[in-house]
Structure 1
């Protein structure tokens, strides 16, 4: 082991304390860094090699701790944690900001006509399906049928919500109409995420003690995990879909956009992107990735099992997902 590095760095866990909001925020600012999508395959494979070698006790001479952590986050940004496969580029967390700013900006620009609403809601849910498939759990893989059901249901729900609200807002202020895409996205998240994770709701997710010893599977923990993810996703979309409408409503009354109406979409995409750079990591950090639940809130049969085999355990832990 190289003298430059401590021998006990746990590169399986984040660098910062995940019990604090600031620690989780630092972690997710690194995870969602859009610059990672510009890395070459050679850089990704080199980061993978550094991490695998370190875990086996072999370190390149001169490697520093900062370089090790950088390699860890590059590796985590591109390779699936369970399967080890290189993930689809646009499905990676580092692609969330550039992809979402483009899609959301266009949804909020082209929201007045039925064909535009259908097209951009379809594009958005197609992207969500890719993200959910790319970041699927290796412990409970999605089947093609489950993926298809969630995709069709979320797309239908988003389109129906958008078209229904568009019809209702024709008689009110144009500013209110600008919030229709956000309502559609929120509705789609409430449909899409539970359907994508229906296996977890049916069979439960693994719960462990604080030392990661598996104690069983819990549907109650799955319900809490999915609720937290839905809240995070909706709040993640909120700033980028709630702040720009006020700005754009003002700008469209000015001479500049009246003279150059084609600038509407680029400005809107830029505003959404600025919001998402901060909203994406901060909302991912709202709840600990390793979340917990009291044993007394678990299913009666699991409570009984834990109290018999591990009488001192009062809380269990689980991965909430993203």
Structure 2
């Protein structure tokens, strides 16, 4: 019975991850657990039970029969389902655990429908609709993005991705090789660079929330908001690289084989299933690897903040030297 929580000499601090998030390997393990697609299939009752375990534990209420494994399992599911700042249940398609199954289908579509104008428009519309949901769901803190801002960023990103794809297709229209297959990746990268900052425009104008060790709001920083959004944008682009760059390379080599050329049915029906499968493999690994590039909850010394923000914090009674912020995902 030594694995019971109440028997522990030192109770685990579940305000932190089970793994060391100051190291890249620790963050990778954390996101492999929290971005596990299987958490999407947990019932509402299970999610609520895990939420209750975590919330009660933070209040000092511990079930005498609660084991260490059960506590950490509840914490991992809680991190996957509930927003780290607001505590609200996140929309299922906006969770990191939905990235692999949703994006593998979308990526397969992007990489297979890049030759025709209707295919480009439809696939990028689907992709940016999904991205808008993810960006909005994982925005930092309690900053509220208005419906008008969300719609504006959504249409701008969709338009940018479609325009980039159509324009690049015109440039490589005489090429049926690898250059044409890489067009979707470039278009997606351009759209991410537009969509994420626009969805989180309030953070750029008002600042990202800075908290002390006890998660009390002490100030907001526009400088850190820009840094956090840049980090999220970069990680999203890098997450898309293996499946949207390596998959076309593999597919381009496959289409040149004698086996492929001798089978019309394979030529007609194999492209989307193969690229969807390859995208699924790439995303399974790159989603946690990409999310782990930068710490989600970062610490910064007050002296490194903008002068006005420094003054605002230093005016407080028992002002902290170190403040923390959530960059979002």
Cα offsets for 1:114-143 (capped at 9, x unmatched): 110000000000011121233344511111
CA distance in 1, matches of 2:42, 2:216: 36
1:283 matches 2:290: yes
Counterpart of 2:165? Answer: 162
Instruction: Give the C-alpha shift of residue 225 in structure 1.
Output: 0.6
- Verify: 1:65 aligned to 2:68, yes or no: yes
Structure 1 residues 245 and 79 mapped into 2: Cα distance closer, same or farther (>3 Å)? same
Is the counterpart of residue 317 in structure 1 residue 320 in structure 2? Answer: no
**Residue 288 of structure 1: CA displacement?**
1.1
Structure 2 counterpart SS, 1:76: helix
CA-to-partner distance for each residue in 1:79-129, whole Å, 9 max, x for gaps? 334444433222221111110111011101111111100000000000111
Q: CA deviation at 1:169?
A: 1.0
- 8 Å CA contact 1:150–1:192 kept in 2: the answer is yes
**Unpaired runs of at least 5, structure 1:** none
In the TM superposition, residue 16 of structure 1 has moved relative to its aligned partner by: 1.0
In 2, Cα distance between equivalents of 1:211 and 1:81: 14
Which residue in the other structure is 1:150 paired with? 153
> 88-97 or 195-204: which moved more?
88-97
Aligned pair in 2 of structure 1 residues 272, 157: CA closer, same or farther (>3 Å)?
A: same
**2:32 is the counterpart of 1:23:** no
* CA distance, structure 2, for counterparts of residue 158 and residue 195 of structure 1: 14
Deviation string 1:250-301 (CA, Å, 9 cap, x unpaired) is 1112344442231211111111111111111111111111224454553232
Gaps of at least 5 residues in structure 2 are: none
1:163-186 C-alpha deviation (Å, 9 max, x unpaired) = 111111123462111111110110
Q: Distance in 2 between matches of 1:85 and 1:321?
A: 15
Instruction: Determine the structure 1 residue equivalent to 2:274.
Output: 267
Structure 2 residue 46 is the aligned partner of structure 1 residue 43: yes
> Structure 2 CA distance, aligned partners of 1:56 and 1:305?
30
Is 191-200 or 58-67 further displaced after alignment? 58-67
Q: TM-score, normalised on structure 1? A: 0.91
TM-score normalised by length of structure 2: 0.89
RMSD between superposed Cα atoms in Å: 2.4
Q: Is the 8 A contact 2:141 2:326 kept in 1?
A: no
Structure 1 CA distance for aligned equivalents of residues 194 and 242 of structure 2? 21
